[in-house]
Structure 1
Amino acid sequence: MATRTPLPIESTSTSTPGTRERLLDAAEALIYAGGIHATGVDAIVKQSGTARKSFYTHFESKDALVAAALKRRDERWMKWFIAGTERRGTTARKRLLGMFDVLREWFASEDFHGCAFLNAAGEIACADDPIRVVAREHKARLLAFVRAQCEAFVAESNGGARGARDARDAARLSRQWLVLLDGAIAVALVSGASDSALDAQAAAQTLLDAQAARKQRASTSVSASASVGNKGSSGSRGKSRPAS
Structure 2
Amino acid sequence: MPDSSEPRTRRRPAYERAVATADRLFYEQGIHAVGVDQVAAEAGISKASLYAHFRTKDDLVLGYLRGRSRSWQEHVAEELPGRGDAARERILAVFDLLGEWFAEPGYRGCPFINVEAEYGAGHSTHVVTLEHRTWVRELFESLLAEAGSTDAGGTALQLCLLYDGAMASAQADPSRPWAAAARTAAERVIAAG
Fold agreement, TM-score > 0.5:
yes
Query: What is the CA distance between 1:69 and its match in structure 2?
Result: 1.6
Give the aligned partner of residue 160 of structure 1: none
How far apart are 1:125 and its partner, in Å? 2.7
1:119 and 2:101 correspond: no
- 2:188 counterpart (206, 224, 243): 206
Indicate if the aligned counterparts of 1:104 and 1:194 stay in contact, CA closer than 8 A.
Answer: no
Query: Partners of 2:37 and 2:88 in 1: how far apart?
Result: 48
1:126 Cα offset (Å): 4.2
**Which of 8, 19, 24 is the matching residue for 1:24?**
19
Q: Deviations over 1:141-183 (max 9, x none)?
A: 111111100111125xxxxxxxxxx3xx010011111111111
Give the C-alpha shift of residue 111 in structure 1.
2.7
Report the CA distance between 1:56 and its aligned residue.
1.2
Are the counterparts in 1 of residues 4 and 23 from structure 2 also a CA contact under 8 Å?
no
Matches of residues 1-244 of structure 1 in structure 2 within 5 Å?
8-9=2-3, 11=5, 16-127=11-122, 129-154=123-148, 166=150, 169-193=151-175, 195-211=177-193
- Contact 1:147 1:174 (C-alpha < 8 Å) held by counterparts: yes
Consecutive unaligned residues in structure 1, runs of 5 or more: 1-6, 156-165, 212-244
Distance 1:173 1:126, change over 3 A: closer
Structure 2: gaps of 5 or more residues? none
**Alpha carbons of structure 1 residues 46 and 184: separation in structure 2 relative to 1, 3 Å:** same
Do the aligned partners of residues 194 and 8 (structure 1) sit closer, same or farther apart at CA in structure 2, a change above 3 Å counting?
farther
Distance 2:127 2:30 in 1: 17
Kindly state the Cα deviation for residue 17 of structure 1 after the two structures are TM-superposed. 1.7
Q: Is the 8 A contact 2:140 2:159 kept in 1?
A: yes
Provide the C-alpha distance between the structure 2 equivalents of 1:29 and 1:194, rounded to a whole number of angstroms. Answer: 25
Residues paired across the two proteins, number = 192
Q: Are the equivalent residues in 1 in contact too, given 2:19–2:60 (CA < 8 A)? A: yes
- CA distance in 2 between counterparts of 1:86 and 1:115 reads 23
Gap change, CA 1:56 and 1:11, over 3 Å in 2? closer
Match of 1:187, as an amino acid? S
Shift of 1:16: 3.4
Describe the SS at the equivalent of 1:147: helix
% identical aligned pairs: 33
Counterpart of 1:229 in structure 2 is: none
Q: Relative contact order (C-alpha < 8 Å, sep 6+): which is higher?
A: 2
* Structure-2 change in CA distance of 1:61 and 1:184 (3 Å): same
Cα distance per residue 1:195-227 (max 9 Å; x no partner): 10011111111112222xxxxxxxxxxxxxxxx
**Structure 2 counterpart of 1:184, one-letter code:** A
1:83, CA displacement in angstroms? Answer: 2.2
